[in-house]
Structure 1
Amino acid sequence: MYDLVIVGAGSGGYEGALYAHRRGMKVALVELSPETVGGNCLNRGCIPSKYMRHGAYMLDKFQKLPEYGIFLKGYDLNMQRLKKGREKVVLTIRENFKKFAEHLKIPIFYGKGVLKDANTVVVGPEGIELKAKYILLATGSSTASVGDLVPDGRYIFDTDQIWSLEDFPKRILILGGGAVGVEFAYIFRMYGSEVVLVELKDRLLPSADIPEESSRYLARKLKKIGVDIRLKTTLKGWEVAGSQVKAFLSDDSEVQADLILLGVGRKPNTEGIGLEQLGIEKDSKGFVKVNQFCQTNIPNIYACGDITSPLMLAHKSMYEAKVAISHILGDKDTVRNERLVPKIIYSAYEIASVGLTEDQAEEEGYEVKVGVVSFVPNPKAMDDGENEGFVRLVASEDGKILGCHILGPHAGELLHQVLHLMKADLGVDFLSKAMYSHPSLSESIVQAGMEVHFGPITWAKRH
Structure 2
Amino acid sequence: MPYEFERKQRIVVLGGGPGGYEAAIAGAQQGADVTLVERVGIGGAAVITDVVPSKSLIATAEASNSIGEATDLGVQFFVRGENGKPTRPEVAINLAAVNKRLLGLARQQSEDMKATLIRAGVRLIQGHGRLDGSTAVIVSTAPGESGMDFERIEADTIVVSVGASPRILPSAIPDGERILTWTQLYNLKAVPEHLIVVGSGVTGAEFASAYRALGAKVTLISSRDQVLPGEDVDAANVIEDVFKRNGMVVLQKSRADSVVRSEAGVVATLSDGRTVTGSHCLIAVGSIPNTAELGLEEAGVQLTDSGHIRVNRVSRTSIPNIYAAGDCTTELPLASVASMSGRTAVFHAMGDAVNPIEIRNVASNIFTQPEIATVGWTQKQIEEGLVRGDIYKLPLSSNPRAKMMGIKDGFVKLFASTGSGAVIGGVIVAPKASELIFPLALAVEHRLTVDEVARAFAVYPSLTGSISDAARAMHVVN
* TM-score range for the pair, normalised by the shorter chain length: over 0.9
Q: CA deviation at 1:315?
A: 1.0
Contact (CA 8 Å) 1:117, 1:278: kept in 2 or not? yes
SS of the residue aligned with 1:359? helix
Contact (CA 8 Å) 1:175, 1:261: kept in 2 or not? yes
1:64 to 57, 64, 69: 69
* In 2, Cα distance between equivalents of 1:137 and 1:437: 44
SS of the residue aligned with 1:278? coil
In structure 1, the residue matched to 2:154 is: 131
* In 2, Cα distance between equivalents of 1:184 and 1:388: 19
In structure 2, the residue matched to 1:7 is: 14
* In 2, Cα distance between equivalents of 1:348 and 1:319: 27
* In 2, Cα distance between equivalents of 1:123 and 1:231: 46
| CA deviation profile, 1:75-132 (whole Å, cap 9, x unmatched) | 3221111112112211111111112222222121110111113221111032122222
1:201 to 224, 235, 248: 224
Q: How does 1:285-296 map to 2 (within 5 A)?
A: 285-296=306-317
1:262 to 266, 280, 283: 283
- 2:375 aligned with 1:354, yes or no? yes
* In 2, Cα distance between equivalents of 1:364 and 1:300: 39
SS of the residue aligned with 2:397? coil
Structure 1: tracts of 5 or more residues without a match: 456-463
1:379 to 400, 410, 429: 400
* In 2, Cα distance between equivalents of 1:304 and 1:213: 32
In structure 1, the residue matched to 2:462 is: 440
In structure 1, the residue matched to 2:342 is: 321
* In 2, Cα distance between equivalents of 1:168 and 1:77: 7
Q: CA deviation at 1:367?
A: 3.1
1:48 to 42, 50, 53: 53
2:427 to 387, 405, 413: 405
| CA deviation profile, 1:394-453 (whole Å, cap 9, x unmatched) | 122121222111101211111121112211122223212222222221111122212222
- 2:474 aligned with 1:452, yes or no? yes
Residue identity over aligned pairs, in percent, reads 29
Contact (CA 8 Å) 2:391, 2:415: kept in 1 or not? yes
Higher-Rg structure is 2
TM-score by length of 1: 0.93
In structure 2, the residue matched to 1:21 is: 28
One-letter amino acid matched to 1:150:
I
Name which of structure 1's ranges 37-46 and 152-161 shifts more when overlaid on structure 2.
152-161
In structure 1, the residue matched to 2:113 is: 97
In structure 2, the residue matched to 1:429 is: 451
TM-score by length of 2: 0.90
One-letter amino acid matched to 1:217:
V
In structure 2, the residue matched to 1:157 is: 180
* In 2, Cα distance between equivalents of 1:97 and 1:76: 34
Contact (CA 8 Å) 1:12, 1:318: kept in 2 or not? yes
Q: CA deviation at 1:56?
A: 0.9
- 2:37 aligned with 1:30, yes or no? yes
Q: CA deviation at 1:310?
A: 6.3
Contact (CA 8 Å) 2:16, 2:42: kept in 1 or not? yes
Contact (CA 8 Å) 1:361, 1:402: kept in 2 or not? no
Contact (CA 8 Å) 2:52, 2:106: kept in 1 or not? yes
Contact (CA 8 Å) 2:341, 2:357: kept in 1 or not? yes
Contact (CA 8 Å) 2:311, 2:330: kept in 1 or not? no
Q: CA deviation at 1:252?
A: 4.2
* In 1, Cα distance between equivalents of 2:475 and 2:31: 45
* In 2, Cα distance between equivalents of 1:340 and 1:147: 37
* In 2, Cα distance between equivalents of 1:295 and 1:237: 40
* In 2, Cα distance between equivalents of 1:15 and 1:250: 44
One-letter amino acid matched to 1:222:
F
Name which of structure 1's ranges 133-142 and 431-440 shifts more when overlaid on structure 2.
431-440
Q: CA deviation at 1:173?
A: 0.8
Contact (CA 8 Å) 1:377, 1:387: kept in 2 or not? no
SS of the residue aligned with 1:27? strand
The CA RMSD over aligned residues, in Å, is 1.8
Name which of structure 1's ranges 381-390 and 262-271 shifts more when overlaid on structure 2.
381-390
Alignment CA distance shift 1:367-1:97 (3 Å): closer
Q: How many residues align?
A: 451
* In 2, Cα distance between equivalents of 1:64 and 1:161: 30
* In 2, Cα distance between equivalents of 1:384 and 1:88: 32
One-letter amino acid matched to 2:33:
K
* In 2, Cα distance between equivalents of 1:373 and 1:21: 47
Contact (CA 8 Å) 1:368, 1:396: kept in 2 or not? yes
SS of the residue aligned with 2:238? helix
| CA deviation profile, 1:57-88 (whole Å, cap 9, x unmatched) | 11111012234443223332211111121122
SS of the residue aligned with 1:221? helix
Alignment CA distance shift 1:54-1:112 (3 Å): same
* In 1, Cα distance between equivalents of 2:318 and 2:332: 21
Q: CA deviation at 1:379?
A: 2.2
| CA deviation profile, 1:275-319 (whole Å, cap 9, x unmatched) | 122111111111111111111111111011111126311111001
